[in-house]
Structure 1
Amino acid sequence: MAHDKILLVTGGSRGIGAAVVERAAIDGYRICINYQRNRAAAEAVQARVAACGGEAMIHAADVADEAAVVAMFAAIDQRFGPLTHLVNNAAVLETQMRVADMDAARLQRVLACNVIGSFLCCREAIRRMSIRHGGAGGVIVNVSSAAARLGSAGEYVDYAASKGAIDTLTTGLAKEVGPEGIRVNAVRPAFIETAMHASGGEPGRVARIAPQLPMGRGGQPAEVAATIVWLLSEAASYVCGAHVDMAGGL
């Protein structure tokens, strides 16, 4: 592994992504905080990194846009050097809806960001990390969801299906690039206290579901971030192709 730890966190301006940025900064990563629209939120996370002595850049890019992804990686190359660590966290969630009512435009939005975006970021990361491409190795952590196992019936089967694709990407890519010095793993959180639930039309979803969970409560972004940063670290040096469930026991 390269001495410099250079990390990209997609969707790093809020929720789990922001928590990963703040935790990784303490561990000495130089970080690119990717965001799509909310520059002020990204700048606020960047300021928190600076306050703890870390270094971060912010970069606006829609991960579903191939040219934007290529430009973002080029910007990281110029500022920090080739990427060594990637957290594929950016994702969108549409309003709760049954499959019978979904249109193609909704499906295209969800799959473009959640699936194509993750593939594109993995591709650019591999071109920099892989020993086959002259790199020194690296680590990719994909943020999936327990929805991939549970299905999210009556709410967002499309989102769940997109995360099922992330699970398969993780399994296949771990086998493909493991021999090239890249570890690929996934976390599968669910029922985490973030603003994403408001995007689905139910800000209080976690509170509603919490009594049904074996642990009796929702999770916090910092709890997921701790696991992600562990997977990024040398402490997880023999973990590859794993899917870590973080859904309160469900």
Structure 2
Amino acid sequence: MRTLITGGTRGIGAAVARRLAADGHDLVLGYASDDAAAEHTAQACRALGARCATVRADVTTDAGIDELFAASGELTGVVNNAGATLHIGPLADTPPDVVRATIELNLTSAVLVARAAVRAMGRSRGGAGGVLVNIGSGAATLGSPGEYVQYAAAKAGVDTLTVGLAHEVAGDGVRVVGVAPGIIDTTIHADAGEPGRVARVGPLVPLGRAGTPDEVAGAVAWLLSEEASYVTGTTVRVAGGR
């Protein structure tokens, strides 16, 4: 098994990498800019027995996606994880360039990575078949009013991508599935400007707390496994009841 994870060196992506390394996957971890985090996560995966390569590439560009997949070799799995909220606040107070950047990263790039994944893994194109896991968000169905409706809208598009593409490539040896995390305790909140967001919204979840990256990683690992061989076109919600 050889799996590519976009945004694979921090937060949910890093947790997925460690879990898959423990499960016997060899890994390619794509990342945007944090070299130190990439090396730290790669070393952790290698310590778990995995072969692990890192590729610094910008998935918001065609060249970055091409570079990432060219460096990945033959794949049996892709975790389409790269994303960020970039901003927290009402839509009317969000600069237009931030809205565009949010949709470009979380939807347009996700669609193009999915396209590349099918081209890499589809049996009709010489691939071995495999699984594409799209990382969506619980925000897609909640809308995230006052927080980041543009991010929620983009992630709703990812859910639709999962359904449509799964039907499109079911006969080509590729399963397409999704995971929709809720409030997860990562740096995504601080990166968007509110380090204390987990403490603010975590208690509002029915289970009374934020989730952990490892809890999301478990769902991703199951969807990539043979135990989920009859699962496609669906998104598993890991959101504490929201």
Whether these two folds match at TM > 0.5 is: yes
Match of 1:32 among 14, 17, 28: 28
In the superposition, the TM-score normalised over structure 1's length comes to 0.94
Query: Displacement of 1:128 after TM fit?
Result: 1.8
* Structure 1 residues 82-231: aligned runs within 5 Å: 82-231=74-223
Other-structure match for 2:38: 42
Distance 1:121 1:84 in 2: 14
Output the amino acid matched with 1:189: P
Distance 1:245 1:74 in 2: 31
Distance 1:50 1:96 in 2: 36
In the superposition, the TM-score normalised over structure 2's length comes to 0.97
Q: Figure out how many residues of one structure are paired with residues of the other and give that number.
A: 242
Does residue 10 (structure 1) correspond to residue 3 (structure 2)? The answer is no
Other-structure match for 2:228: 236
1:139-185 Cα offsets, whole Å, 9 max, x none, are: 00000000001111011001111101100111110110111111111
Query: Displacement of 1:14 after TM fit?
Result: 0.6
Other-structure match for 1:20: 16
Identity %: 47
Distance 2:186 2:31 in 1: 16
Query: Displacement of 1:224 after TM fit?
Result: 0.2
| C-alpha contact (below 8 Å) 2:137/2:152 kept by paired residues | yes
Q: More displaced, 185-194 or 197-206?
A: 197-206
- Structure 2 stretches lacking a partner, 5+ long: none
Distance 2:130 2:62 in 1: 22
SS in structure 1 at match of 2:71: helix
- Runs of 4+ that moved beyond 4 A: none
Query: Displacement of 1:97 after TM fit?
Result: 2.0
- Structure 1 stretches lacking a partner, 5+ long: none
Q: More displaced, 211-220 or 10-19?
A: 211-220
| C-alpha contact (below 8 Å) 2:8/2:31 kept by paired residues | yes
Query: Displacement of 1:213 after TM fit?
Result: 1.6
Distance 2:232 2:4 in 1: 19
Distance 2:67 2:173 in 1: 25
1:185-239 Cα offsets, whole Å, 9 max, x none, are: 1111111110001122222212222222211111000000010011011110000
SS in structure 2 at match of 1:208: helix
Distance 1:52 1:130 in 2: 29
Query: Displacement of 1:96 after TM fit?
Result: 1.1
Question: Over aligned residues, Cα RMSD in angstroms?
Answer: 1.0
| C-alpha contact (below 8 Å) 2:122/2:173 kept by paired residues | yes
Distance 2:87 2:120 in 1: 37
SS in structure 2 at match of 1:76: coil
Distance 1:215 1:92 in 2: 24
SS in structure 2 at match of 1:172: helix
Distance 1:131 1:211 in 2: 46
